[in-house]
Amino acid sequence: MEDIGSFLLWCVFPYLALGSFVFGTIIRFTFFRDTITAKSSELLEKKLLMIGSILFHVGIIFVFFGHVIGVLIPKAFTDWLGIPNEIYHIGALVMGGIAGFMALAGMLILSHRRFANKRVFKTSSFSDLVVDLAFLVVIVLGLAASLGEGLFLHPEFNYRLNLSVWARQLFYFRPDFHLMLQVPIVFRIHVICGLLIFAFFPYTRLIHALTLPWQYLFRSPEVYRRKPNIRGDHNRG
């Protein structure tokens, strides 16, 4: 029974979550495009929004690409480049820690703003509140996994030998759930929470992150003409 549960969690659930992300996004953009909006509350409060938004977005972008690099680049490649595992690990901890704390600080500011400011709270939907809390949880778990587990509880743990291998296996549909059983519990919870965010991504305001102003690339250029000076033209006549 334990193997069945682990198989469902690490070999079935990831595809359900990613399938929800892909097909939910397609359906949202195809049939409910008019509902995609950032719905800014800037007019209600601007200072905290600006500070928190900049910190969070800059931090989370670096965190996201750090995760992508950590998953897609195998240990054999950095070994071939001559990068010692200790140097790679220190670099990942430093850069990931800075980006993670930036994202956490930004999310704390934005969450405080959303829950403490009565006007902002009243204009927030239930999904807005859940998304804020979900990001707080997943960021804290990520920092706890990288710094707590990686530095103090399990300093010998190398996620590139199991967690990253399992993540790459998802792309060619042969994930080995036994690899995830070697991963410390905090890392596993962090992965589950991250997959849940992907699963619910298309059904929340987060979907606006995938919108790009393509119309500006293809629309005809606008021509601006100077308004004629009627009085001057009349006098010259």
> Domain limits at 127?
2-236
Q: Is 173 left (phi over 0), alpha (psi -120 to 50) or beta?
A: left
DSSP string, 103-130: HHHHHHHHHHHHHH-HHHHHT--HHHHH
Residue 112 in marked binding region: no
Residue 154 in marked binding region: no
Tens of pLDDT, residue by residue, the chain (237 residues): 668 999 999 999 999 999 999 999 999 999 888 877 766 676 677 889 999 999 999 999 999 999 998 888 888 888 888 888 888 888 888 899 999 999 999 999 999 999 999 989 988 889 899 999 999 999 999 999 988 876 667 777 888 899 999 999 999 999 999 999 999 999 999 999 999 999 999 999 888 888 765 544 555 555 556 666 655 555 555
Residue 190 in marked binding region: yes
Residue 234 in marked binding region: no
pLDDT value for 221: 59
What angle is formed at CA 103 by the lines to CA 100 and CA 104, rounded to 5 degrees?
Answer: 85
Q: Which CATH number fits the domain that encloses residue 222?
A: 1.20.950.20
* Helix H or strand E encompassing 16: helix 13-31
pTM, two decimals, is: 0.83
The residue length of the chain stands at 237
State the total domains in the chain.
Answer: 1
Name residues whose C-beta falls within 8 Å of residue 20's C-beta, 6 or more positions apart in sequence.
Answer: 198, 199, 200, 202
